[in-house]
Structure 1
Amino acid sequence: MSRFAIELLAALSLTLGAVLASAPSVKASDVLVSSAVARASISSLAKSGVAYLTIVNQGAAADRLLSVSTLVAASAALHGTRMDGDIMRMEEAGIVELPPGGTIEMVPGGLHVMLMGLKAPLLEGEIIDLTLTFERAGDVLVRVPVGPSLAGGNDYAKGSSGG
């Protein structure tokens, strides 16, 4: 992993820590969603945004996260980030398995919710709604606080197309 990628991940972790600590939890069926936060747009021209959250399956049966939707963007999708040499690449994750007792932790540099075609910039302090659709738990509405942007970060933070 390049030094830039390590510094970027460290900065994201520090910036989002305070917001994550205060984010509300939502429970539906056996699924608990917590630590939800979106990152504020760095520019009024931003066309994409990102959200992170933690999902825990507290039940005895597996579930699957099928999709994410929102009214604040034209579309939302689950994306994963991986290193290809010194280059950070993002790709759609598709359906995400959630085994019994399992946890999905969406974090900077890993799995995240990508918001594409923002209808307006995400502003720090706002609350946006995401609907997570699970195979067993059904639709789960999550109210997501918008935390600080990563000002001065990379192209992903500037709204080009990343998380």
Structure 2
Amino acid sequence: MAEVWFYHLTESRLEDALPALLEKTLERGWRAVVEFGSEERLNQMNEHLWTWRDDAFLPHGTAADGFEADQPVYLTLDAANPNAAQARFHVDGSMPHDVSPYIRAILMFDGHDNGQLDAARSQWKRLKGEGHDVSYWKQMPDRRWQKQM
């Protein structure tokens, strides 16, 4: 069973939080796949990841770039895992289907969007019911993450 971590964004935007979590994923020696809810958001994040910090970028690609199997971080709109990722991120309203192929699935949701809150609650119940190890991470006022019990 996969670990499933729910990240409740309350103090920062996805553009600020996702790159740092992807960087930590790569530091573990894992590959990541990030599934988006819309092509517009995928394209925005694709551009953002090249310049998210002045001193670093995150190596990544999309189907349009080719070389899918070689991408450390693969951005997509579907359930494919062409880079054999160990971690799968669901963002921008994207919801997980089968998380069992992954060591960890991460669902990031906007705490100011009632639709995303409701969907995250529903996914929590479903994934916990399927026997996955689910965890809830709350964003603190200083923008750090704290695991809730």
TM-score by length of 1: 0.27
Q: Which has the higher strand share?
A: 1
